[in-house]
Amino acid sequence: MSIFFTTLYVALSHLSPEYLFPGIGPYHPLVWLFIVGALAALLSVCQHSYPFRAPQNILLIGFSAIIVFSSAVEAGPGRAVSALWTFLPSLLSFYLCSATIYRTRHLRLLSLGLTIVAFFQAISGMIAYYSGATQSPFLWVWPPLEEQIPGQPLVRRICGLGFLNDPNDFAQFLLVMLPLIWTLWRNRAKVRNFLFVIVPTLLLLWAIVLTQSRGGLLAFGVMLLFAFRKRFGNTTSVVLTLVLLAGILTSGLWKREDLSVHENSAAGRVEAWGNGIAMWKSSPLWGVGFGQFGEHNEDQNGLTAHNSYVLCFAELGTLGYLLWLGLITATLLDLNSIQRVLTSDDFAEADIQRWATAVRLALIGYLSAAWFLSRTYYMTLYVLLGMAVAVVRMANGETEQEIRAPGRKILAWSAGAAFASIVLVYCTLWSRAL
């Protein structure tokens, strides 16, 4: 029963029902739903073990503390309380997922809830796109209605609701759903695979194309590389990925301009990255404060970083950045270990392996798209992290060899990732200056 309330809370949070039914806003339905879900989760913890030893627990608590501390130091205690309240849904969604998921069927239920939300928003966006309903909340139109001139061509891109109302954010969410759908694949089940895997995959890919998200397209390519590598090897996977991306770009549906950093909107984002580097230098330990990037980016009228990594080290400094990357590296290390430790001969272990692969690919897709989006603190990432912790707990129940990344390894990989990402930002800035 507890997983039902977790699924309902997470799915409705991604749907943002208050945008569909504005009248329910004053009653805060998601807050009440979370309270019920938290109580159910506590009952679940009393009956089943909780993975207290997972390093993500300590890392996430430390990350939350840095959010509060940086806001208090840079903007005062009042802003610290506001920062914690803003991040709280993401924080609590991690603990809800890791506490209430202890069977693969629970993962299926949560994935089903999110997939239904994805399909509803994607189909609503498609209907608005092809019917020309420019005032639909599922359609992003440029220029805005008040600036349109009769006969002027409009840029139309489908989007979701709430924190998915940007087409790029929506593309990232749809991308995350693809590996979760593929957990339904079964060998020698052609009809089942066609109806429940192939058709939904094509529909979501079609929707991703209609978002016209360049970051989403590149992230899809990265995810394909990792998906193909194990089966086809590095060279073949690169060729297949390039062929598929070329097919999308030449399909006639893709209407965006080039992917160069010199293109106008991309150049503005890269300039924001440079300002993020300057913010980090001004306060290298704890940053300029949670949610303060726009206020320190005045020369671009408060433009956000459009890069989750830059946003993290600019707002939370080196300490916050290492903790955030620690969450991610610890999770990826654990999921990789599952592939080595468990065997595919046993049905239960094979099922856990399948979910470890799916969550890993979903994380890779999310993190790849996050290079072009300010999605450091959003719920989707922390739901995936909670799902991963749950998968590792199930894997530990199947083997005597404990799967848990050691602290030194997490620190080493986090420091390496931090260094590499900052160098990559610098290289991007230099390439634009050439």
pLDDT single digits (tens) 376-423:
999 999 999 999 999 999 998 877 778 888 999 999 999 999 999 999
Q: What is the dihedral of CA 423, 424, 429, 431, to 10 degrees?
A: 120
Q: Which helix (H) or strand (E) holds 139?
A: strand 139-142
Q: Whole-angstrom Cα distance, residue 330 to residue 56? A: 7
Alpha-carbon Rg for the chain, nearest whole angstrom, is: 21
pLDDT for 261 equals: 46
pLDDT single digits (tens) 279-321:
999 999 999 999 889 888 876 677 888 899 999 999 999 999 9
Residue 332: count of CB within 10 angstroms of its CB: 19
Q: Whole-angstrom Cα distance, residue 94 to residue 359? A: 14
Instruction: Please tell me the pTM assigned to this model.
Output: 0.92
Give one DSSP letter per residue of 162-194, joined into a string: GGG-SHHHHHHHHHHHHHHHGGG--TT-HHHHI
Which tokens sit at 326? 């620690």
Contact 303, 297 (CB under 8 A): yes
Q: For the residues 194-208, what does the mean pLDDT come to?
A: 94
Q: Whole-angstrom Cα distance, residue 282 to residue 193? A: 54
Indicate if the pLDDT at residue 223 is higher than 70: yes
Indicate if the pLDDT at residue 234 is higher than 60: yes
Domain locations in the chain? Answer: 2-433
Q: Is 198 exposed, middle or buried (0-12, 13-18, 19+ CB in 10 A)?
A: middle
Give one DSSP letter per residue of 96-115, joined into a string: HHHHH--SHHHHHHHHHHHH
Indicate if the pLDDT at residue 242 is higher than 80: no
The gap from C-alpha 226 to its chain's centroid, in whole angstroms, comes to 17
pLDDT for 145 equals: 67
